[in-house]
Copies of this chain bind each other. A is one copy, B any other.
């Protein structure tokens, strides 16, 4: 662990602490520490692996006015231990609900910010990478070739096939743009209509999720998880997938009924590319690991250089906005 400090002699400035920072985030963060000059003191704890011990995290944040939250959960224990000093938590992700107790923060008048759309392009690329691995087996052939042999196999072309995008926000649209460049026919369905934006991109809006599953060779999920979308892809929808079709999930596992998906996959006539799971890390005895017709990656879609840069830039901007009495990415 290394502690990098900036402006620490200017004791009249507020203190910003980053108590846990892995290299992919500490490197872009160190490149923009000068943005705090004249505004804040900074302590950045950089280490090769995430620190999860709450006592260690609390000790590092003692006396901070603002904390940048990267790669750990602000449990209620941590939150309380840092009161009344910490007045701002800048969270380096979008879906904040599991990471900070937002109602508690609101009650105490503590600002909570998040970061938005930082990973749209990266997650869309990963969704397409999963489609490629399912249809072309590029990575599997490469692993075999690094041992021996000449493991050629029949592949599928994506161009000319139909992609159905469920959820047409930032990630869904980025996925649509890549697929359109690939010559795929792109359909989308979303809980609110985006027909005109879709049409402008050459994408066709369909009337229902049922129609999307009926008409697609590949269905890619890009919805946010909420009470209304949890389990939205159940047994009936999965039964609509045509033999040979593919389901891609880079969003949240809980959108899909996990037992229903397992049963559909065990029929052997569809395949799936999954980056998200009900329990993460995926247990070693998960039956998904034994299925030949799934491509599985460890919730890695967001984890790119560009996404890390976006997280860091937005966290820094939201802390500076808080210092200046302005608003940026404010949740409460």
Contact = CB atoms under 8 A, between A and B. Distances in A.
A298 B151 contact: yes
Interface residues of A, number: 60
A24 B154 CA distance: 7
Given A139-B140, A178-B178, A300 B153 contact: yes
A274 to B, nearest CB: 10
A147 B284 CA distance: 8
Contacts of A159: 121-122, 125, 174, 306
Contacts of A132: 125, 128-129, 132, 138
Nearest to A291: B146
Contacts of A133: 129, 138-139, 142
A156 interface: yes
B126 A138 contact: yes
Contact of A305 (B130, B140, B156, B182): B156
Interface string A105-119: 000000000000000
A102 interface: no
B24 A122 contact: no
Nearest to A24: B154
Contact of A295 (B142, B154, B174, B297): B142
A307 interface: yes
A304 interface: yes
A312 interface: no
Contacts of A136: 125-126, 129, 300, 304
Given A137-B139, A181-B181, A157 B289 contact: no
A184 to B, nearest CB: 10
A182 B125 contact: yes
B304 A152 contact: no
Interface string A177-190: 11111110000000
A129 B122 contact: no
A198 interface: no
A97 interface: no
B121 A183 contact: yes
5 contacts: A146-B290, A147-B289, A154-B303, A155-B305, A177-B181
Pairs of residues from A and B, 10 with the lowest C-beta to C-beta distance, nearest first: A139-B139, A181-B181, A150-B281, A157-B306, A157-B304, A129-B132, A121-B159, A129-B138, A152-B298, A145-B296
